[in-house]
Amino acid sequence: MQNPFTTTESEPVAPDILKDEMISRIAPGREERIFLLLSIFIGVISGLLVVSFRMAIEWLSVLLLGSSPNPHQPRLLFIPAAAGLVIALLARYIFPNVRGSGINQTKAALYIHNGYISFRTVIGKFLLSALAIGSGHSLGPEDPSLQIGAGVASLISRRFGMSKEKLRIFAPIGAAAGLAAAFNAPISAILFVIEEVIGQWSAAVLGSIVLSAISSVVVARSFWGAQPMFRIPVVDLRDSRELLAYAALGVFGGFASLLFAKSLSYLRPKLRSQPQWSQLLQPAAAGLIVGAIGYFGLTQVMGAGYEAIDQAMHSQFTWRMLLILALFKIIATTLSFSSGTPGGMFAPTLFIGAMLGAAVGTFEKIYFPHLTGTIGSYALVGMGVLFAAFLRAPLTSVFMVLEVSGNYSIVLPVILANTIAYLISRILQPVPILEQFTHRDGLYLPSMEELREESNLHLEDAIQPVTVPILQGSDTIANTLQSLAQFEDPQSIPVFLIQCHDGLWYAARREELESLSSIGIPNSQEAQANTSDAPTAPWEMTLAEHLGHERTPVLFPDLPLASALPHFQRWPLLPITNRAMRGSLEGALSLQDVLTRYQKH
């Protein structure tokens, strides 16, 4: 037995070469072993950071604005403005990468920077977003939490020396952990990261995302409890006409999301094009205007606004007041976000949707009292409507509503209203707002919405009838040579398909079958000499036995067309078989067939 530590008896392997070889062998296994454990660890650390982040926002809010801000308090004017100036200076000179909500920044880290997010950015996002939201700027904590979690994952994976491939995977794992802790909703976080950040997934990635999200939620719930974010009564749809009201809410939500997106797409580039010195004043000016909105009576639009959402769900506003709050929240959020103040769009989106939904519900109670829907249920559905239409995450929006309420009886109105709003938004605003931001910033990240809508080609789109000769693998070589002799010009046939007894196929080049002629066809005397007790003569071996155990890959018409490309290096022709009948041919594919189909696509 050869010594594993030497190549030959006279040529020992150098110790450094041996060490590198051993490391290369064990490294992949080591990565796989610690991958899932790191996902749990990332979830725990992200959960603790998000809890600290939310506590910092609450502490700063009480410290700067008081425990119960009321209109006409002077600090509502100067506190957001002063905080905006501090944020602008820190973002300009110390934390240059903290602007934005955090979603696009995480996608950019994933697709451009191999999953790299600096620890300075994590610290800056934590501090400046907490200061912005705590001082009253109309932004939310969820999107920054997503980037904080992604940054934590990036840092930890780098410390463990993970490969570039794993570094790219860990960013969305941390993003799911941060968002799950912020929302106290693991399913919604998982779906959003898959739907809007990575766009696709494998079993390994999904398992890691699930572990990190659950770990972070367990940590968050140990501080906040397991109760849903909002509580409403069970929805009982006794009158099918009530679905018309939810459908109307979907229409209103679709147009409201359009107004919100248009205002952002107009103001943000306008402010970005201003001189550098003026950009230092923009967060302060935005804070002053948002503070003025609160000073003159609408303090509800300041900050994330979750308390106002709860009030709207419990019928504490008139329907006119609800519409006013929705409109001014759009104005306040547009100003805060467009000025470059770091903070998220999730909470303002939910606020606007809740106000619209509660307005529809209140209007229904006044003018259609025979319908049984509650104002809280309309507010909750409205949150999902704006989430689906503005952030363009239709699947996440449904589960988000179910998780934050714990009320699964509302699923039918949510699906109906969200679908209508999403379709209106798709028609009137073809490019999602987050994608517009990336294009304006000079980045071209993959559009997850386009990937979902893209029609993928399949093998059946390029399949061609079988025109090459088919030979039987069960025939002896002698019979095969006789079959080949029947063709007028076998040299003109480049490929032969061979059907083997196990239902599989073999695509043989002409040169492979030409080698059979060296075996020769026996004459009658040679055939008689081969008795049953004698060894099997070469010409009595079956064609399948001569070819060995290798077979062409089993391919079906519904598989992606790209799945055929790796096989053409070995096989000149690929038989496409029927799923219901083993070995039954649907057609065949050559490399030229695939390329021609792609050129037509």
If one compares 303 and 204, the residue with the highest pLDDT of the two is 303
Confidence band for 448, pLDDT divided at 50, 70 and 90: low
Hey, which residues does 560 pair with through a beta bridge? 458
If one compares 432 and 444, the residue with the highest pLDDT of the two is 432
User: What is the rounded CA–CA span in Å between residue 146 and residue 188?
Assistant: 12
If one compares 12 and 384, the residue with the highest pLDDT of the two is 384
User: What is the rounded CA–CA span in Å between residue 305 and residue 352?
Assistant: 10
pLDDT higher than 60, residue 245 = yes
Question: What type of residue sits at position 220?
Answer: A
**pLDDT for the residue 36:** 80
| Residue 141, number of CB atoms within 10 A of its CB | 28
* Sequence-ordered list of residues with C-beta below 8 angstroms from that of 274, at least 6 positions apart, any chain: 282
If one compares 56 and 24, the residue with the highest pLDDT of the two is 56
- Find the mean pLDDT for residues 167-190: 88
CB 216 within 8 A of CB 181: yes
CB 374 within 8 A of CB 395: no
**pLDDT for the residue 183:** 85
- Find the mean pLDDT for residues 221-226: 87
**pLDDT for the residue 485:** 76
**pLDDT for the residue 17:** 40
List the helix and strand counts (H, then E) for the chain: 24, 7
**pLDDT for the residue 523:** 54
Confidence band for 79, pLDDT divided at 50, 70 and 90: very high
If one compares 511 and 62, the residue with the highest pLDDT of the two is 62
Confidence band for 452, pLDDT divided at 50, 70 and 90: low
Is-same-fold flag (242-445; 459-523+532-600)?
no
* Region of poorest pLDDT, from 144-148, 296-300, 576-580, 590-594: 576-580
Confidence band for 161, pLDDT divided at 50, 70 and 90: confident
Confidence band for 594, pLDDT divided at 50, 70 and 90: very high
Of the chain, the percentage scoring pLDDT greater than 70 comes to 86
If one compares 318 and 512, the residue with the highest pLDDT of the two is 318
CB 160 within 8 A of CB 34: yes
Backbone angles phi, psi at 262, to 5 degrees: -65, -40
Superfamily, domain 15-224: Clc chloride channel (1.10.3080.10)
Of the chain, the percentage scoring pLDDT greater than 90 comes to 49
pLDDT higher than 60, residue 520 = no
Distances (CA, A) of 363 to 234, 310, 359: 20, 18, 6
Question: Tell me: the pLDDT tens digits for 376-414?
Answer: 889 999 999 999 999 988 889 999 888 888 778 788 899
Domain locations along the chain: 15-224, 242-445, 459-523+532-600
pTM score, two decimals? 0.80
Confidence band for 8, pLDDT divided at 50, 70 and 90: very low
**pLDDT for the residue 4:** 36
Q: Which residue, 509, 518, 511, 510, is CA-closest to 538?
A: 518
- Local structure of 213: helix, strand or coil: helix
- Local structure of 514: helix, strand or coil: helix
**Whose structure tokens read 């100003």?**
335
**pLDDT for the residue 462:** 92
User: What is the rounded CA–CA span in Å between residue 373 and residue 235?
Assistant: 7
Q: pLDDT averaged over the chain?
A: 84
pLDDT higher than 50, residue 65 = yes
Answer positive or negative: Cα dihedral of 468, 470, 476, 478.
negative
User: What is the rounded CA–CA span in Å between residue 29 and residue 38?
Assistant: 14
Q: In the sheet where 505-509 sits, what is the strand order? A: 470-472, 495-499, 505-509
Superfamily, domain 242-445: Clc chloride channel (1.10.3080.10)
* Region of poorest pLDDT, from 29-33, 432-436, 593-597: 29-33
* Region of poorest pLDDT, from 119-133, 190-204, 215-229, 407-421: 190-204
Confidence band for 21, pLDDT divided at 50, 70 and 90: very low
Q: Which residue, 282, 270, 274, is CA-closest to 85?
A: 282
| Residue 421, number of CB atoms within 10 A of its CB | 33
CA angle 373, 192, 202 (to 5 degrees): 135
**pLDDT for the residue 2:** 40
- Find the mean pLDDT for residues 295-321: 92
Confidence band for 601, pLDDT divided at 50, 70 and 90: low
Torsion of CA 377, 383, 388, 394, to 10 degrees: -50
**pLDDT for the residue 198:** 78
Strand pairing of 11-12 and 585-589?
A: unpaired
User: Where in 380-500 does DSSP place strands (E)?
Assistant: 470-472, 495-499
Hey, which residues does 508 pair with through a beta bridge? 496
**pLDDT for the residue 474:** 85
User: What is the rounded CA–CA span in Å between residue 336 and residue 36?
Assistant: 39
**pLDDT for the residue 13:** 39
Which tokens hold the place of 186? 């693991």
pLDDT higher than 90, residue 255 = yes
CB 365 within 8 A of CB 232: no
CA angle 64, 67, 69 (to 5 degrees): 75
Confidence band for 7, pLDDT divided at 50, 70 and 90: very low
Q: Which residue, 58, 57, 149, 135, is CA-closest to 103?
A: 149
Confidence band for 364, pLDDT divided at 50, 70 and 90: confident
> Which CATH number among 3.10.580.10, 3.40.50.880, 2.102.10.10, 3.90.45.10 corresponds to the domain 459-523+532-600?
3.10.580.10
* Region of poorest pLDDT, from 128-132, 348-352, 471-475, 591-595: 471-475
User: What is the rounded CA–CA span in Å between residue 437 and residue 440?
Assistant: 5
- Find the mean pLDDT for residues 336-358: 94
**pLDDT for the residue 556:** 92
